[in-house]
Amino acid sequence: MRRLASGESQVSVGGAFGVGQSTVSQVTWRFIESIEERARHHLKWPEPERMDQIKSELETACRLPNCCGAVRATHIIMTLPAVESSDDWRDQESNYRMFLQGVVDHEMRFLDIVTGWPGSMTMSLLLKFSGFFKLCEAGKRLHGPVKMSAERAEIREFIVGDCAYPLLPWLMTPYEGKGLSASMASFNAAHKGAVSLALRALSQLKGAWRILHKVMWWPDKHKLPNIILVCCLLHNIIIDCGDEVHSGVALADHHDPGYKGQNCQQEDPLGQTMRENISRHLHCYEASLLS
């Protein structure tokens, strides 16, 4: 656990405990395998009753009806041996990186993750290659009861993501451009609050488990996804046990420092209609508070 939490090299950790590098490697990997085997239940898609609670909490906090969570991706930086170096793993910042995509709830608990994909991909492409996307498109996820808006329009279950993602019937992205209407501005404000949960979750994850924040020297690309998964499991275990994370644990800077944002221009017509329904609902709700 020291290796995962500190991000220190195996040599440094071994020196602190008076053991060799190989021992640190073996003990760390046994710990990872044990957590994978025994703690998988801490990261799973919620049952309907639990999802109802999540949606209620998100609507209270962010005013978004039927919102099930927020999605965001981050990069794990690697230094690869020359024989393994490939442009597939080189991102737009010329770093070798592996992606982690996470969907989080109102408590910043990971509900779904995907990792193992190279950092050269865009976030929108990573989403489309994920099992989560396939389940949503097949109607097997985010398929719960619809809610009726203030104007009696249907609002289905959805998650939120920033402009790096496509606007889909089940994935709401913000309005862009100048001269936004009052209802659009209301939507963007509520949307920003929900998306911030995913950003904070990733900052907290990388702050608590620094191995994900520091440059990983010559990692086994086949084992790195296991390390990432276990760090996400440990993140969730802390939340599930009701333990408070010290305020200084989360990263002080962005979870992807120096990384330029992406912009996906794809907008599904049904997604546009959904976003308009939510925007009008928020505007009507705010107007009712003033009357």
SS3 state at 287: helix
> pTM for this structure?
0.91
Q: What is the mean pLDDT of each run of 10 residues along the chain (291 residues)?
A: 82 82 88 96 98 98 97 87 62 79 98 92 95 98 94 96 98 95 95 97 93 75 90 97 72 61 93 97 83 62
What confidence score (pLDDT) does residue 54 get?
98
Pairing of strands 171-172, 158-160: parallel
Domain spans in the chain, listed from the N-terminal domain onward: 1-38, 42-290
Query: What SS3 state is found at 28?
Result: helix
Instruction: List, in order, residues 6 or more apart from 16 with CB less than 8 Å away.
Output: 2, 8
